[in-house]
Amino acid sequence: MTTLTNANFRSEELTQKLVASIRAITTRPWNIMEICGGQTHAILQYGLDQLLPAGIQLIHGPGCPVCVTSLESIEQALKIARQDDVIFTSFGDMLRVPGAGQDLFSARASGADVRVVYSPMEAVKIAALNSQKKVVFVAVGFETTVPSIAQSVLHAKRNGITNFTILPANVLVPPAMHAILSSPENRVQGFLAAGHVCAVMGYWEYEPIAARYHTPIVVTGFEPVDILNGILMTVQQLEAGMHTVQNAYRRAVTREGNLTAQGIIAQVFEPVDRNWRGIGLIPLSGLGLRPEFQTFDVHEHFELGHETLAESPLCIAGSVLRGVATPHDCPAFGRQCTPGTPLGAPMVSSEGACAAYYRYQRVKA
Amino acid sequence: MCLGIPGQVTDIYDMEGTLMSKVDFGGVVQEVCVATVPEVKVGQYVLVHAGFALNILSDQEALETIKLFEELEKFNQEHPSGEQPE
Amino acid sequence: MTQAGYPEMQGPNCPLPISKREMVVIGHGSGGQLTHELIRDVFQSRLGNPLLNAGNDSALLDLSQALPAGQRLVVSTDAHIVSPLFFPGGDIGRLSVCGTVNDLAMMGAQPRYLTATFIIEEGFLISDLEKIVDSMAAACSEARVQLVAADTKVTEHGKSDGIFISTTGIGWARSTPRIAGDQARPGDAVLVSGPMGNHGIAIAQARGNLGFQSNVVSDTAPLNSLVGQLLAEVPNVHVFRDPTRGGLATTLVEISRQSSVTIELDEKAIPIDPPVRVACELLGLDPLYLANEGKMLVILPAEFAYTALRVLRANPLGNQAAIIGHVTERPQPQLLLKTTLGTTRVLEMLSGEMLPRIC
C-alpha cells in the first residue's frame, strides 16, 4: 500500500502535531501569502485558519488564474463564443466569470455553443470530430496547466487539426511575486509557493526572489498536512530571520522540476507581457505562441480588436488580489457583490478571496 | 495550479503520436496524457491535472515526509509553546 | 389513455406507413391511426392496467374504500428533462416514476396512482421509447403504483431534446402529526439512508465529456416501502426529504430555514462511496452538493434514532444508513459542518450549477 495516497496527508493526528509545533514556535504576528487558489480552497474546506495561532494571518494571493484573466480576454472570449460557426471550449472555472456584461454561462443560455472540457486534449478531439466548425479553447492557468495546452497544440499540429485554436491567457507565477513584493504597500512577509506549479517548473526560480526581497518561500502542497507543514517551515524561517527557499512537498517537487514538461512549454510558448485583471500590466508575465505555432492563435483567425474596458467602479479586486486589502474593506462586499451577483472575478471563482470570505462566514454564535 | 490528484498508471499506449495512459485513482479510471513523463512505468504513481501527468510521485519522499512528522512529537515535547528553536 | 384535445383534422399530413415504424413521427401525435397504434403497442402493452386500458378520456378512481378516515389526499407533479436519457443505473423513465413516488413518500404518503405526459421529438427511436416505458413499468411495479392516465404529443425535430416526461402522483397520508420541512426541532437527530452523490457522478460520467470511467451507478429508487416500514415503528418522524438537485447540503439548508433551527453535521459520519469521493476530487466537485435519487434524510426525536437506524438498515435501500448530525438552536438558522479535522464551517445553498474545475 503506497504512502502516496492523499489520505495520509489528511490525518487528524498529524494535523494536531503540526498545529502544536506552529504554536510552540510562534512568538510574533506574521503575514503569509499563499499564491495558489487550490491552497485557498483547502484552507477554507478544512478550516485550517481556525487552527492557527491568532497572530498568523493568511493572505490569499492572486493564485486564481481565472480571477486574473484580463477583462479584455473575457470579452474576446464572449465575442468568439457568440459566432455561429464556433464551438467554444473552456475549463468549468471560467464559465461564470463576469465580462463587462455577460459571462460564458449566459452566452450559452443565449444559444452560443460553449462546452466545458476537463482537458485541452478534449477540445482537440472535438475539433477533429467537427471539421466544419472552428473550435476555440480559452487557455487560462498558471504553469501547471501550460504543458497540457502546449502538448495539445503539438498534437493538433502533428495530426493536421487546423480548426483548433487557443485564446492565449496563461500567466506565470514569479513575475506576480515580484510585482507583489516590490510594491510599497506590500504586507507579505512569507510565501507559500504553489506546489503544482513547482512540480512542473521546479523552485530554482524563486531563489533570487527570496534573496532580493528577504522573504522566505516554502513550496507547499494541498492537503491539510501539507499546508500546515508549509506554514510551519515558513514560520520557522520568519522566527529565525531566514529567507531561503525550502521544499515542503518533496514527494511531488524537485528543485529542477519536470524538464520534459518545461521543454514542451518552451517548444510552443514564449514569455509575453500580460495584463492581470485588477493588477495591471506585468512585463513578461504571460505566455504567447511562438511564431511557428501562430496559426493556432485565435487572433490570426478572428478580428478581435483592442478595447479598453472599464471594471465596475465599486470593485477593488486588484487590491484584494495583491493582498493589500481584504474583502471586508470593500464597500460592495456582501451587498451589490455576492456569489450570485459578482462584480469582479474573486467573487466568482470558488477559491477567489472574496467568495472565500463570503461563503466561509464565521459560525454565528 | 490546483487540482492535482495522485493515481496509479495501469496502461501506457500511443494515441496518434502522443503518449497516453490509463490511470487508476481508486475505483475511477481516467485517460491521462503522459507525454510529460515519457519514462513512466506501469505501476508508478503520477500527479494528474487537467488530464495530464505533472510528475512521477516519489514513494520514498512521501515516507520520509511522514517520518519527519513523527519527529515532531519529540520536538513538541522538548519545546512547549513560547520557546524558540535553536 | 386520455386523448389529445386537438387532433389535426386538415387531412393526411403524412402517408400511412406500410411497415412497422422505427421512429416517432409527427403523425404519432395527431390522434389518428398512428397514435392509436403507438398507445396500444408501446404504452398499454407495458403499463397496462384496467384503468389505463379502458381508453377513456379520464381515469375514474374509486377512493371510497381506499381513503380511510383521518387521511389526507396528497398530490405532486414533476417534469423530467434529464440528459443523457440513459445512464448507469437508470433512465428518464425510472427517474420520472421514482421522482414523483418519492415526492409523495417524503410527506409520509403512500403513492397509489400516477399520470404521465410524454412530449416526444420527431425522429425519436421507437425502440428507445419502448425501453423507457419498460423501465417505467418496472418502477411502477416496484413502487406498487398504477399509471392510470397518460398523454402523448410529438414536436417537430429540434424542438424538444428527445423526450420530456411529466408525471403527477396521488397518494394519501395521515393528517396528523404532519411530516414537513418546518417540523425539525432542537434535539432531533438527522439520519441519511445511504451514501451521497452516486446519481450525480453517474450522470457526469454518462455525459461522456469528463473522460473518466467507474462503476458508479445512479441510486434511482422508490422510497415508499422504506418510509412505510419506518413509520410503522417510529410514527413521530418530523421530516423526510430526498436530497435531489443541490444535494444534501442544499436540502438541509432549506429545512434549517423552514424550521428556523441550526443543523450540525459530522463530516466523518456522512457515508460516501470511495469511487464517488475520488471522482469528486478529480473533477473538483463537492459530494454534499450532488443529486441523489434514491436516498432520504430523516429528522426525528433523538430517542428514536437507533430504532430508525435499525429499520432503515434492514431494508436493502437503507443498508448503509447513518446518523449524521443533530438539530440545535442558535439565534440564526444555519447549516454547520464539523470537518474531519474538528474545525467547523458553514454550508450554504448551491447557487447555480456546480461545474467541474481545474483550480
Q: Looking at CA atoms only, how far is residue C331 from chain A in angstroms?
A: 8
* C211–A122 C-beta distance less than 8 A: yes
* C342–A118 C-beta distance less than 8 A: no
Pairs across A and C, CB distance < 8 A:
89
Selected residues 192-251 of chain A with any CB under 8 Å from a CB in chain B: 194-197, 199-200, 222, 225, 229, 236, 239-240, 250-251
Question: What pLDDT, in 10s, does the model give residues A179-217?
Answer: 999 999 899 999 999 999 999 999 999 999 999 999 999
Strands A217-220 and A190-194: parallel
**Facing residue for B29 by CB, picked from C214, C273, C274:** C214
pLDDT of C231 reads: 96
Q: Which residue has the cell 519545546?
A: B79
Hey, is the C-beta of B66 within 8 angstroms of any chain C C-beta?
no
Q: Locate the chain C residue with the closest alpha carbon to B30.
A: C212
> In this predicted model, which residue has the larger pLDDT, C215 or C35?
C215
A350 in the same domain as A246: no
* B54–A24 C-beta distance less than 8 A: no
Nearest-angstrom CA–CA distance, A241 and A250 = 23
- A86-90 sheet: strands from edge to edge: A114-116, A86-90, A134-139, A164-168
| Domain span at A330 | 317-359
**pLDDT band for position C333 (50/70/90)?**
very high
DSSP H or E segment with residue A121: helix A120-129
What is the residue-averaged pLDDT of chain A? 91
Question: What pLDDT, in 10s, does the model give residues C73-118?
Answer: 999 999 998 889 999 999 999 999 999 999 999 999 999 999 999 9
Residue A201 — φ and ψ, nearest 5°? -95, -10
A306 in the same domain as A247: yes
C49 in the same domain as C159: yes
A143 in the same domain as A71: yes
Half-sphere exposure of C65 (CA within 13 A, CB side): 2
Question: What pLDDT, in 10s, does the model give residues C53-75?
Answer: 777 777 777 776 666 777 889 99
User: Measured between alpha carbons, how far apart are the two ends of chain C, in Å?
Assistant: 52
∠ CA A324-A328-A329, rounded to 5°: 50
Least confident of A40-49, A163-172, C332-341: A40-49
Percent of chain C at pLDDT > 90 equals 67
A248 in the same domain as A198: yes
* C346–A363 C-beta distance less than 8 A: yes
Question: What pLDDT, in 10s, does the model give residues A330-347?
Answer: 999 988 898 878 888 788
What is the residue-averaged pLDDT of chain C? 89
What does pTM read for this prediction?
0.90
DSSP H or E segment with residue B31: strand B28-33
Question: What pLDDT, in 10s, does the model give residues A12-42?
Answer: 999 999 999 999 999 999 999 998 888 988 8
C14: pLDDT strictly greater than 60: no
Find chain A residues with C-beta within 8 A of C281's C-beta.
6
CATH number at residue C70: 3.30.1330.10
pLDDT of A67 reads: 84
The set of cell numbers assigned to C339 is 470537518
A213 in the same domain as A343: no
Instruction: Classify each residue of A173-198 as buried b or exposed e, where b means 16 or more C-beta atoms within 10 Å of its C-beta.
Output: bbbbbbbbbeeeebebbbbbbbbbbb
Q: Looking at CA atoms only, how far is residue C279 from chain B in angstroms?
A: 6
C122: pLDDT strictly greater than 50: yes
3-state helix, strand, coil in chain A (%, to 5): 45, 20, 40
Chains with 3 or more CB pairs under 8 A to chain A: B, C
* A48–C339 C-beta distance less than 8 A: no
pLDDT of C32 reads: 80
The set of cell numbers assigned to C25 is 413521427
A196 in the same domain as A83: yes
User: Does residue C181 belong to any structural domain of this protein?
Assistant: no
Residue C301 — φ and ψ, nearest 5°? -55, 140
**Facing residue for B26 by CB, picked from C211, C213, C274:** C274
A251 in the same domain as A143: yes
A100 in the same domain as A132: yes
User: Does residue C159 belong to any structural domain of this protein?
Assistant: yes
User: Does residue A365 belong to any structural domain of this protein?
Assistant: no
Q: Locate the chain A residue with the closest alpha carbon to C282.
A: A118
Q: Locate the chain B residue with the closest alpha carbon to A258.
A: B55
**Facing residue for A64 by CB, picked from C331, C352, C359:** C359
| Domain span at C122 | 26-174
State the total domains in chain C: 2
Per DSSP, A63 falls in state: -
Q: Which residues contact A279 (CB under 8 A, 6 or more apart)?
A: A62, A68, A176, A179, A318, A321, A322
CATH number at residue A242: 3.40.50.11740
**pLDDT band for position C160 (50/70/90)?**
confident
B28: pLDDT strictly greater than 90: yes
C219 in the same domain as C339: yes
B1: pLDDT strictly greater than 60: no
User: Does residue A364 belong to any structural domain of this protein?
Assistant: no
Which CATH fold topology does B5-78 show?
SH3 type barrels. (2.30.30)
**pLDDT band for position C3 (50/70/90)?**
very low
**pLDDT band for position A324 (50/70/90)?**
confident
Residue C120 — φ and ψ, nearest 5°? -115, 135
User: Which amino acid, C133?
Assistant: V
pLDDT of C66 reads: 63
Strands B28-33 and B18-24: antiparallel
C193 in the same domain as C266: yes
pLDDT of A355 reads: 82
